[in-house]
Amino acid sequence: MHPPVRLVAIDMDGTLLPSFAQKVSVRGAKAIKAAQAAGITVAIATGRRTAYTAPLLDGLGLRADMPLITSNGAVTRTLGGEPMDRSHLEARVARAICGLMRPFGTVVFTFDRPGRGELVLEDLAQTEGRISLWVEANRGSIEVVVPLENALPDGEDPIQGMVTGGIERMKAAERVLKASEWQPYCECVRTEYPARDLSILDLLPPGVSKGWALERLAERLGVDRKETMAIGDNWNDVDMLEWAAQGVMMANAAAELRTMAKMRGWKQAPPNDEDGVAIFLEGLVQKQALRA
């Protein structure tokens, strides 16, 4: 039997957030607050950058010291903005990646700085065609630089790169990167949305992932792996689900991921559009109250 859970890491898109929603449900927020009140540290673990994550949680009455693992593990801050952890992708590596990835789709680099220039790309029209909602939500942070390499001089290290396109095209891009000389200097994490034929290939500092960041957060908080739970729905969540002693896969995840979950003994939460995270957290809090 596992010891009581002291730390829960929850993905955002496809997990905590309902599909196409830009806010956490009332039930979801209430369940997180109940977990916090029960002494459980609830952390968000998302591929979104911090500035694209925190507004979704504002005004919900959540703790200011709530950890936000963002950019797929590259940056960890509290909801209140206090820095906790950060990694960078070397500028020389990022420049090389531009040439490798440009033929496959839109390439974007994220910098850990506020305002315009936090996101840098070279073809806004191409980006608007596939991820127009993302462009609208982030337009104030986007700077267009042509060629993209000019935004990446030595010393200007981004925290994360991103390539977007169709699923098969991004799988091909991943194969090219992993076969290149730059593979040891860049971690590659894929997220897929089959219904939209959309895939995001995140390019991260070596070894960085949600699982890596969760492990470091647990150590910082003095929480054992056996006391840690992770909840997610996509490929970029697998690493943290594997690290946490208690993994939970959403019922709306792709069939291949649900099969993986069964093979690895992970639990399954109801779909994101049915408040699956809230239902799971409610049950967790109730279970732990009975054990107290």
**β-strand 41-45 against 67-70: which pairing, if any?**
parallel
Mean pLDDT for 231-236 is 97
> Exposed, middle or buried, 196 (CB in 10 Å: 0-12/13-18/19+)?
exposed
Mean pLDDT for 259-265 is 97
Predicted confidence band of residue 292 (pLDDT cuts 50, 70, 90): low
Mean pLDDT for 40-53 is 95
Predicted confidence band of residue 289 (pLDDT cuts 50, 70, 90): confident
62: its two tokens: 């959540």
Domains defined along the chain, listed by start: 7-86+208-291 (3.40.50.1000), 91-204 (3.30.1240.10)
Q: How far apart are CA 170 and CA 106, in angstroms?
A: 11
Which of 19-33, 130-144, 181-195 has the lowest average pLDDT?
130-144
* Cα–Cα distances in angstroms (integers) from residue 187 to residues 21, 73, 97, 205, in the given order: 29, 11, 12, 6
What pLDDT is stored for residue 229 in this prediction? 98
**Per-residue b/e over 101-114, b at no fewer than 16 CB within 10 Å?**
bbebbbbbbbbbee
DSSP string, 129-196: HH-HHHHHHHGGGEEE-SSGGGG--TT---SEEEEEE-HHHHHHHHHHHHHSTTGGG-EEEEEEEGGG
- pTM for the model: 0.94
Provide the phi-psi class of 68: left if phi over 0, else alpha when psi is between -120 and 50, else beta: beta
* Cα–Cα distances in angstroms (integers) from residue 65 to residues 4, 41, 43, 62, 101, in the given order: 21, 9, 10, 9, 37
Mean pLDDT for 201-213 is 96
**Which strand (E) or helix (H) includes residue 78?**
strand 75-78
In this model, does residue 47 exceed pLDDT 80?
Answer: yes
Mean pLDDT for 98-117 is 92
What pLDDT is stored for residue 131 in this prediction? 74
238: its two tokens: 């697998």
In this model, does residue 128 exceed pLDDT 60?
Answer: no
Give the model confidence (pLDDT) of 22-45 as tens digits: 899 999 999 999 999 999 999 999
At residue 77, the 3 state secondary structure works out as strand
Q: What is the 3-state secondary structure (H, E, C) of 82-114?
A: CEEEECCCCHHHHHHHHHHHCCCCEEEEECCCC
In this model, does residue 20 exceed pLDDT 90?
Answer: no
113: its two tokens: 């700085």
191: its two tokens: 């997220």
Non-local (6+) Cβ contacts of 52 within 8 A are 137, 138
What pLDDT is stored for residue 291 in this prediction? 75
For residue 147, whether the previous peptide bond is cis, meaning omega lies within 30 degrees of 0, is yes
Give the model confidence (pLDDT) of 65-103 as tens digits: 999 999 999 999 999 999 999 999 999 999 999 999 999
What pLDDT is stored for residue 290 in this prediction? 81
pLDDT cut 70: percent of the chain above it: 98
